Amino acid sequence: MKVKLNIHSIVWLFVLTVLLSISVLSSASDIKPGDPKQVVNNLQMSLLQAMHEGDQLDYSGRYEFLTPAIDQSHDIDLIIRTIIGATLWSDMKLEQQTLIKDTFRRLSIATYAGRFIKYGGEQFEIIEQQELPRDQILVRSRLIKGGDSGDSVNFDYVLQQSSGEWRIVNILFDGVSDLAIKRREYRAILQRDSFSALIEMLEEKIVLAEND
């Protein structure tokens, strides 16, 4: 069941947009419109907003709220093609390519909606931006957990231009590549089992994200 935002929620989200521009610890002068840092900043602000709305939005509400943020920040088509690999991708029928792109997109949104649930004082900090080979950019950031622990998790984003706009093509969590993990997992299922088995596994992960 989808959650429709009422007037109070819309006003509150507008206020949060202003407040969270302060919560993300990167000065406005350091983020230029259209650059990789802004793409990451916008995504992280949306995640914090979803967490702030945790008491009002259930999983479906967070999924609906975060969908445009993921679509605007991630190059889902390139990510899934890279995960599958050129050879296996070319062996797929067009209907299979369309199906796995749609399923992977839904899983990507579901994962964010299932993990960023409720705000507890967390803050994102964008640390720096670095050039990488093959015209890619690395934006290094970290999520500072709430409370007195001061613990943090590193979120490093690899971005590449698509149709003139920067999009995320990989995320590293404390140095571990999400793309590499999925590449090993997905290709193993395709080679050992079947395309249908891979789709079934992705659908199961979507259900798990909702129920975690």
Q: Is the pLDDT of residue 44 over 50?
A: yes
Token code pair at residue 15: 């206020």
Tally of domains in the chain: 1
What average pLDDT score do residues 14-28 get? 42
Beta strands 136-144 and 123-132, pairing class: antiparallel
Q: Is the pLDDT of residue 11 over 70?
A: no
**pLDDT recorded at residue 127:** 96
**pLDDT recorded at residue 17:** 42
Residue 1 lies in a domain: no
**pLDDT recorded at residue 31:** 63
Where in the sequence is the domain holding 171, given as residue range(s)?
7-211
**pLDDT recorded at residue 32:** 67
**pLDDT recorded at residue 54:** 78
Q: What angle do CA 120, 125, 128 make, to 5 degrees?
A: 165
What average pLDDT score do residues 75-91 get? 97
Residue 158 lies in a domain: yes
Please answer whether residues 66 and 110 qualify as being in contact, where contact means their C-beta atoms are separated by less than 8 angstroms.
Answer: no
**pLDDT recorded at residue 116:** 93
Please answer whether residues 31 and 141 qualify as being in contact, where contact means their C-beta atoms are separated by less than 8 angstroms.
Answer: no
Residue 65 lies in a domain: yes
Token code pair at residue 128: 């720096």
Query: CA quadruple 102, 108, 114, 117: dihedral positive or negative?
Result: negative
What average pLDDT score do residues 186-197 get? 96
Distances (CA, A) of 135 to 63, 96, 131, 164: 32, 30, 7, 12
Residue 119 lies in a domain: yes
Q: Cα separation of 44 and 62, whole Å? A: 14
> Residue 115 belongs to a domain with what CATH number?
3.10.450.710
Q: Cα separation of 71 and 105, whole Å? A: 8
pTM here is 0.83
**pLDDT recorded at residue 28:** 43
Residue-wise pLDDT for 58-72, tens only, equals: 999 999 999 999 999
Residue 127 lies in a domain: yes
Residue 44 lies in a domain: yes
What average pLDDT score do residues 148-157 get? 87
The residue assigned the tokens 């140095």 is 175
Mean pLDDT of the chain: 86
**pLDDT recorded at residue 164:** 92
Residue 107 lies in a domain: yes
DSSP 146: S
Q: What angle do CA 85, 86, 89 make, to 5 degrees?
A: 80
Residue 2 lies in a domain: no
Q: Is the pLDDT of residue 22 over 60?
A: no
**pLDDT recorded at residue 97:** 98
